Amino acid sequence: MAEATQSNAELLEWPKKDKRRFLHAVYRVGDLDRTIKFYTECFGMKLLRKRDVPEEKFANAFLGYGPEQSHFVVELTYNYGVTSYDIGTGFGHFAISTPDVYKLVENIRAKGGNITREPAPVTGGISVIAFVKDPDGYIFELIQRPSTPEPLCQVMLRVGDLERSIKFYEKALGLRVVKRADRPQQKYTIVMLGYADEQETTVLELTYNYGVTEYTKGNAYAQVAISTDDVYKSAEVVNIVTQELGGKITREPGPIPGLNTKITSFLDPDGWKTVLVDNEDFLKELE
């Protein structure tokens, strides 16, 4: 037993040593071309790649602010004939940082975009933010920052037990808390988890609303993908952590048939999905 505990302790160090970054967020849209047009014209994203798989009746597109080799991107999935999805109450928003939120909002408004919160400082703070809804109803927070290597900077999800979720993401994925904000007046707490400081990278933002322990997942948002040097070892770690904190592995580690990219996937204790993708395989796929 002591030996098993020892090897588990060593294994749990792996995520901190591993070469990890956020690769993409995957979600479903009702009209691929409409969303591509909105993201390129309103948000200034670039269309990086697009593929149609008629035999499986779906198409997808990757958009972002730089090459996938180095940037976080969105992967949009269009399933033939499905024009709308239920976003649910658990998914929060994506975020984009920009040097001038006011200017970006004016551009989005001019193109017919739906501004759900006008640009202004955050409650009790100085950062200027705004909120915009895309054509499918996904919310994007716009954050004013002088400059950043990663404009597509947040994925926000709501969780029912914040301390449990923090522990899960620290242990299972090697993420670290880079910021925490308690807002007792507004009855919520947020934490940002990342592989580097908030200004430099994409973070996972978890929101806990006082007293709310469950949310609906809907069928719109799918998952985030994160890179790893070893999907097998990473899955072993996740397996240990799910036994302690909940969640489960939904895909055992191994290559995707026909693509040969090695992946593993799992759900966190709230049911949010993460896919871990082999670093080398991912780069080969991009070639």
Condensed to tens digits (0 to 9), the pLDDT of residues 199-242 reads: 899 999 999 999 999 999 999 999 999 999 999 999 999 999 99
pLDDT digit string, tens, across residues 132-156: 999 999 999 999 998 889 999 999 9
pLDDT value, residue 258: 83
Active site includes 13?
A: no
pLDDT bucket at 11, cuts 50 / 70 / 90:
very high
Question: Residues comprising the binding site?
Answer: 75, 93, 141
Residue 55 banded pLDDT, cuts 50, 70, 90: very high
pLDDT (tens digit, 9 = 90+) per residue, 56-111? 999 999 999 999 999 999 999 999 999 999 999 999 999 999 999 999 999 999 99
- Please state the separation of Cα 242 from the chain's center in Å: 20
Residue 123: per-residue pLDDT: 80
Name residue, tokens 């009209």: 31
Residue 178 has pLDDT above 80, yes or no: yes
Q: For residue 74, what pLDDT is reported?
A: 98
Query: What is the fold, at CATH topology level, of the domain defined by 1-285?
Result: 2,3-Dihydroxybiphenyl 1,2-Dioxygenase; domain 1 (3.10.180)
229, two tokens:
């040097």
Q: Which of 68, 141, 150, 205 is catalytic?
A: 141
User: Which amino acid is located at 268 in the chain?
Assistant: D
Residue pair 68/20 in contact (Cβ under 8 Å)? The answer is: no
CA distance 160 to 135: 28
Q: Which of 170, 193, 199 is nearest to 180 (CA)?
A: 193
Task: Supply the pTM of this predicted model.
Answer: 0.95
What pLDDT is stored for residue 147 in this prediction?
Answer: 84
Q: Residues annotated as binding site for Zn(2+)?
A: 75, 93, 141
Q: How many CB atoms lie within 10 A of CB 59?
A: 17
> What pLDDT does residue 8 have?
87
Domain residue ranges in the chain: 1-285
As to burial, measured by CB atoms within 10 angstroms (0-12 exposed, 13-18 middle, 19+ buried), residue 140 is buried
